[in-house]
Structure 1
């Protein structure tokens, strides 16, 4: 069987969960001798793809470019990828993102993965130029089969795109093995710092960072005993700094880290808890990574998150600052609750893996041929 992944997401993301998903599929498929899977991104901007090494001929990763040069590089990559993909003549083309036009080669079947419906449910938070709603619906309706990464996303796909249920499957994601506690080397520099709660990823809009900070600041105990550490999502902005000071936090009480999975794994290891206050998630990999690392999870009770976290989380209504505060205090001031969540987390995380995700994806490919 010959499977082609198109170049779309590798031109859009430098890092990011979607490119990580396809890179992990490629790793798992590479080990199966009856498969010939290739990622067609002859030039791209994605560090996850560049790091695949022997698992993939990943093309050439470009540095950050000015907008005009980036657009030119993207167009060159698309044209060259179409030529290479046609020459490859795949049985399956797995589209990595949403496009109004396809890469379909003769006799190829099209598979599309849909991740979430944030732009549909929270359209007021995005400008029109960044919305994916129209191309997503076009891509979903033309695909021979659509993969959703949670039951929550599957329900949204039916509601917003009217895709027939028989053309939809759910395959859950996994956490990379580097996040398992036994694989993490502690960092003395983190252990010597004040106790902290961890926030991972983008802090904009539906991620509800402001609500989390307000809830944290409303507790005299939390402010006295803990700091906030953020990972990813870019450096803290002036507006975020001002907001945290306006609710009474010290200038140095919120710290930001970026960088590699190794740094993030160490943060999970040392954190007192992961706080995940999103209004909506299509899946939510950070709670899975935290559970693997032995970090208690305090999470929103919305969308897909109960599917991922199961009985291993302390839940709250993300629209209620008081509920977020109470949930954090319930965990952070109870050693018994912390230990219970850690043990439940290990069991819950073990239900998910990239190997299982790849096997279920391969079964979908086979069903189309």
Structure 2
């Protein structure tokens, strides 16, 4: 029996680029070319850049020049999706994010992916009008089966929601290796000395300030190594003030723009990749770094030990001195870096989007009972 899976428009309206839309796109294209399966991304109007009109599984059109107001996109998609569904058809709906009501399609089995429990664990960090928790509750209640991207996220979900364990399965993410790492990074990005690498946005739970404090208060680290921050936008006033507060050297913390070619070149050239986050649902940059041969130092919390295994040095993200000690040791020990590089490449080989898609399709079949 052939299985047709529908992925809704939500995340492709919300994200131009991003980890969740990348995950759904990687799934959809692999499901569509698998024997006994087909997929449809039901996004009548979308702004996401991963989707391409020439993809046979995409049911919709990009509007790169359209207003950024999400309400316009959502209203049009909400009205149009049932009409498109009549022609696309599907056995199963995989909701791509959390909303209060399901899209008014013909009744289907519903699968939902829960990526993390950040909003539940760190509610004080979010505005009082943030309704993510409310929307997530509604989506979880109506799902027939839930995927968590790590065992850590699964444990957290079962802690906050009274769900039968059989309703929640773990399927790890993959990542996108790229040959771009063989290319040198532009010299304008690179500091004139060895560097530690931070990747991604710098939201409060990411604990960038904790890393900044550990780095800036180490006279040796801040003199001998730069701290390169990839992505997340230019430094804001608070971050610049924090660097000054902790006595950081001017020009020692460098921002690098967003390009996969630059990112993978930075992984290849960095002394170490550092992830000081207090909580992550998964941690794709860890895999990217390990694949690229970059030693990893990261927090001992959330899913990070589950992803990195024996291929990282761990620190307590709540203790800047712990972060500093691990970074100084790793920067000094060439043999430890070589060991982590070897273990990291082996560890990264255990994760792929192909494996993620295969396990997800098996879950689809179990959920449908076919």
TM-score (norm 2): 0.93
- Residue of structure 1 in register with 2:88 after alignment: 88
CA distance in 2 between counterparts of 1:357 and 1:103 reads: 25
Aligned to 1:324: 323
Q: Which residue is equivalent to 1:40?
A: 42
Of stretches 328-337 and 185-194 in structure 1, the one that deviates more from structure 2 is 185-194
**What's the secondary structure of 1:59's corresponding residue?**
strand
Tell me if structure 1 keeps the 8 A contact 2:287–2:348.
yes
What runs of 5+ residues in structure 1 fail to find an aligned partner?
none
Q: Counterparts of 2:289 and 2:101 in 1: how far apart (Å)?
A: 38
The structure-2 alpha-carbon separation of the partners of 1:60 and 1:367, relative to structure 1 and needing over 3 Å to count, comes to same
Shift of 1:191: 6.5
Distance (Å, rounded) in 2 between the aligned partners of 1:33 and 1:230: 42
TM superposition shift of 1:246: 2.1
Report if aligned partners of 2:59, 2:84 keep a CA contact under 8 Å in 1.
no
Structure 1: how far apart are the matches of 2:218 and 2:54? 47
Counterpart of 1:214 in structure 2 is 213
- Which structure carries more helix by proportion? 1
Query: Which residue in 2 is equivalent to 1:247?
Result: 246
Provide the rounded CA distance (Å) in 2 between the counterparts of 1:99 and 1:305.
28
Deviation, 1:44, is 1.6
Find the partner of 2:183 among 162, 170, 185.
185
Q: Is the 8 A contact 1:291 1:342 kept in 2?
A: yes
Separation in 1, partners of 2:100, 2:186: 50
User: Structure 1's 63 and 236: CA in aligned 2 closer, same or farther, altered over 3 A?
Assistant: farther
Quote the residue 1:258 is aligned against: 257
- 2:162 maps to 162
Shift of 1:176: 0.4
Structure-2 separation of matches of 1:135 and 1:92: 20
Which runs of structure 2 are paired with 1:23-102 in the superposition (5 Å)? 23-50=25-52, 54=55, 56-57=57-58, 59-63=60-64, 69-102=69-102
Alignment of 1:350-361 (within 5 A): 350-361=349-360
Residues 252, 155 of structure 1: CA spacing in aligned structure 2 closer, same or farther, 3 A cutoff?
A: same
Mapping 1:114-125, distance limit 5 Å:
114-125=114-125
Identify if the C-alpha distance between structure 1 residues 264 and 106 changes in structure 2 by more than 3 Å, giving closer, same or farther: same
CA distance in 1, matches of 2:262, 2:306: 27
SS for the counterpart of 2:112 is strand
Judged with a 3 Å threshold, the aligned counterparts in structure 2 of structure 1 residues 320 and 108 are, in CA distance, closer, same or farther, namely same
Tell me, what secondary structure is at the counterpart of 1:42? strand
With structure 1 as the length reference, what TM-score do the two structures score? Answer: 0.93
Aligned length: 365
User: How much has 1:147 moved relative to structure 2?
Assistant: 0.2
- Residue 160 of structure 1 deviates from its aligned partner by 1.1
Partner of 1:279: 278
Q: Which residue of 1 aligns with 2:333?
A: 334
